[in-house]
Amino acid sequence: MSLSSVFATGGIVTAPHHLAADAGRDVLRDGGNAVEAMIAMAAAIPVVYPHMNAIGGDSFWIVKPAGRAPLGIDACGAAAANATDDLYRAAGHDAIPTRGALAANTVAGTLSGWQTALDIAAQLGGQMSRKRLLEAAIHHAEQGFPATGNQARTTTAKLAELKGLPGYDRAFLPGGIPPAEGDLFRQERLGATLRRLAADGFGSFYDGALAQDIASDLARAGSPVSADDLAAHRALTLTPLSVELSSGTVWNMPPPTQGLASLMILGLFDRLGVKTVGDFTHIHGLVEATKQAFIIRNAHVQDPAAMDVDPANFLTAADLDARVGNINADAALPWPVPVKDGDTIWMGAIDAAGNAVSFIQSIYWEFGSGIVLEDTGILWQNRGASFSLQDGDVNRLAPGRRPFHTLNPAMAELSDGKILSYGTMGGEGQPQTQAQFFTRHVNFGQPIQPALDAPRFLLGRTWGDTGTNLKMESRFDSALVSTLAGAGHDVETIDAYSDLMGHAGAVSVRADGVMEGGSDPRADGKAAGV
């Protein structure tokens, strides 16, 4: 990966897999807008990065039409009507399983988000057909693509807990073994399903013949999600949360996402007055701001219908001014507190007119529930495994309730007129990776690609890991690591360019129309311009 950003004037995209980026770039090149480009990428990425996301998952969007305020799309599915305490107690569980049919207990909302986005695209002048937008995804599913090293490693690492689950081996273990890097990998049944979606509409996922096939597959696998649950689902269009910084305005999604935490970190760090990049004041300040934000997130963020406080209250100048006083500039707050898991992909797009999209799509853990639907080839998420069966938990399971989401796509409009779309995968690490990139790029002026390449830290656990300490990539200066440890941080050094640090990306457009983009060297993607 080059340390140079990609620059363009006719449109720009970024994705954690290069074939998904190509799909979006080609749509822009053919005259599509940023929302249409993102739909093409959203369809391609479950095919070519299938361990990280699927059409059987959820998604969130921030769409900022040029010169207008952004809007959010919440495409998060709720718990099934039959997902009750009695279901799990009768099966002998005092916690929701993380894999298998009982982990597949929420509706997959992402296709409803695609439909809502398609409607918005049309309002912005988009005219591309569903067939055109799904063209690349269908091609890669039916004709195959070379499996990435990331897919090969993840499949091997998770083999013991996923092998033998309904549909999993047929879909992800060709010849009975994990694919090797470079092996041709096909998903023919998923390709056929994408063809049906192109012909019948994205809404057919929830109502119609495809929906009935999905419901039958789910029932056969043992999932509580029914045809009625699918038919009842709707995506929501809403106003994103925002925080005012000295550098401009940043938006993120409201609960049930952890967007509040991402915005709080930036708001608190902005008040610390840090002047230098990559030193103790920078890293310690971000870590301590993260702790303060996570305390609030863990106490309050849940299905917004069950919340008794307005999350925007935590983003006011008065609240942030008061809360920053909890940060000791020289010493670490004792940690941990309970943490949140998650796994996903993030992608961004900007078109020649200046319309911008920040998009995130998830199956919760890598490979989700592990359940692959027999007739349709759809991998179903395990997002509902984040629910608790314990009374008093803010994320208590209840039929029709939406689960906590680590997903949070970010967008900013800076004081110089630049529009910045950015985000990452990585569960607990998402707000932290966002903050590290944002402060390097916006506060300290690093170009997008070097800011994405820079060494990163992670407080707490993320996908594939259970530790709750402060992990730092080995490229950090050893003297800095020692200073942080001396200030009370429980520091662990890990490999450089670790997947644990997320797969981030960003695209921007300046007031003069020049666009910049970058992609995380920890993934398999790229930024591509027109």
Active centre residues (catalytic): 344
- From residue 209, alpha-carbon distances to 58, 134, 274, 518 in Å are 21, 19, 57, 41
Cβ contact 440:423 at 8 Å: no
Q: How far apart are CA 170 and CA 175, in angstroms?
A: 9
Cβ contact 193:377 at 8 Å: yes
DSSP assigned state of 369: T
281-312 exposure pattern, b = at least 16 Cβ within 10 A, e = fewer: bbbbbbbbbbbbbbbbbbebbbbbeeeeeebe
Which residues is 410 bridged to in the sheet?
422
3-state secondary structure 418-479: CEEEEEECCHHHHHHHHHHHHHHHHHCCCCHHHHHHCCCEEECCCCCCCCCCEEEECCCCHH
SS3 label, residue 128:
coil
Cβ contact 63:39 at 8 Å: no
Q: How far apart are CA 39 and CA 22, in angstroms?
A: 13
Element (H, E) at 140: helix 135-143
The one-letter amino acid code at 39 reads I
- The sheet that has 241-245: what strands, in order across it? 6-8, 515-519, 504-509, 419-424, 410-414, 248-252, 241-245
Cβ contact 44:36 at 8 Å: no
Q: How far apart are CA 290 and CA 294, in angstroms?
A: 6
| Residue 350, phi then psi, degrees to nearest 5 | -140, 135
- From residue 416, alpha-carbon distances to 103, 246, 419, 442 in Å are 46, 11, 9, 11
Which residues is 345 bridged to in the sheet?
361
Number of other CB atoms surrounding residue 273 within 10 Å: 11
CA atoms within 13 A on the CB side of 478: 0
